Amino acid sequence: MNQLDALKQYTTVVADTGDFKQLAQFQPQDATTNPSLILKAVQKPEYAPLLKDCVTRWHGRAIDELMDRLIVRFGCEILSIIPGRVSTEVDARLSFDTAATVARAERIVELYQAEGLHIDRVLIKIAATWEGIQAARQLEQRGIHTNLTLLFSFAQAVACGQAKVQLISPFVGRIYDWYKKQAGANWDEAAMAGANDPGVQSVRAIYNHYKHFGIGTEVMGASFRNTGQIVALAGCDLLTIAPELLAQLAASDAPVARVLDPEAARRVALQPVQYDEAGFRYALNADAMATEKLAEGIRAFAADAAKLEQLMQAAA
């Protein structure tokens, strides 16, 4: 049994890509996209017609609507291949506007429904700012399920659990990147691998908290740099993995053991944690890594959304 098949015994495997032509070979349950992945895909010759078709078909509509129609088109193509859910992201430029995030999310869902897809097959991705989490709370109450992304801190995870969001995506690789950069020449790759990886440790703490206190929000590790990080989180509810790393897992027959386990989490001695807005903002501010990576992530996704708009305007 290869590592990918072994991992699927303990964890729901999700493909992290906009390149839906790669999906079938790995047989993931779900798939995730983001503006950067969609931008990357539409610049490939085989996907350029999707962008052109969207612009031609909906010529004259506002650019934000064209953007939503394009990302939904990709989502529909992905859902024709996978059995589960696709995550589709709200424009990162709305990350600090609760009302605008809710309105945009509702439009995305309506576009999927117009294509005959059930609401339960879509997760709306929203940055895990305080405003984004409150938007997700409202959407969940309306039956629209959410995936809170750009999640780097325990405080973000706790607030998401309180809001009863469907799923969170803690970013393993970007946490690892920050600590490695901070350490500079003192970084010991071997000593900080596997269970000692700071990104892996972050997800494990969140997973244990959720399972210990019976919080129903799903934990989906994301943003991996190597297969060692993935194997160290075997047993996590879901793991979203780029095609390159899926291929590496499929090519390896090294053993994969379950690491995260809900029963074990329930036996861990933990104290309950809750946050109001002031407490959340203070806890996030106290975590330099999470503060920096959240801001950086929003800027990067916003920049790629703007580039995608420029491509659409050029194709008009």
Tens digits of residue pLDDT in 61-70: 999 999 999 9
Tell me what percent of the residues of the chain surpass a pLDDT of 90. 98
pTM, full prediction? 0.96
Question: Nearest-CA neighbor of 167 among 260, 30, 300, 28?
Answer: 30
Separation between Cα atoms, residue 260 and residue 177, nearest integer Å: 23
Which tokens go with 211?
Answer: 């399972």
Q: Which residue's structure tokens are 């996030």?
A: 284
Alpha-helix residue ranges (DSSP H) falling in the chain:
3-7, 35-42, 48-57, 63-79, 98-114, 130-141, 154-162, 172-183, 198-212, 227-231, 243-251, 262-267, 277-286, 288-315
Token pair in block for residue 314 = 């050029």
Cα–Cα distances in angstroms (integers) from residue 87 to residues 128, 146, 186, 266, 296, in the given order: 15, 8, 38, 29, 21
Beta bridge partners of 167: 147, 218
Active-site pick, 21, 40, 44, 125: 125
**Cβ neighbourhood burial of 193 (10 Å; 0-12, 13-18, 19+):** middle
pLDDT at residue 35 in the model: 87
Crossing angle between the packed helical segments 48-57 and 288-315, to the nearest 10 degrees: 70
Residue 90 is classified by DSSP as P
Q: How many CA atoms lie within 13 A of 259 on its CB side?
A: 21
pLDDT, position 84: 98
11-48 pLDDT tens trace: 999 999 999 998 989 999 999 999 899 999 999 999 99
Fold of 1-313: TIM Barrel (3.20.20)
Is 307 an active-site residue?
no
CA nearest 151: which of 289, 272, 245, 277? 289
- Map out the domains of the chain as residue ranges: 1-313
Tokens standing for residue 244: 């390159």
Name residue 279's amino acid: G
**Residue-wise pLDDT tens for the chain (316 aa)?**
999 999 999 999 999 999 999 898 999 999 999 989 999 999 999 999 999 999 999 999 999 999 999 999 999 999 999 999 999 999 999 999 999 999 999 999 999 999 999 999 999 999 999 999 999 999 999 999 999 999 999 999 999 999 999 999 999 999 999 999 999 999 999 999 999 999 999 999 999 999 999 999 999 999 999 999 999 999 999 999 999 999 999 999 999 999 999 999 999 999 999 999 999 999 999 999 999 999 999 999 999 999 999 999 998 8
Q: Which residues contact residue 232 at a Cβ distance below 8 angstroms, ignoring those fewer than 6 apart?
A: 194, 195, 197, 200, 259
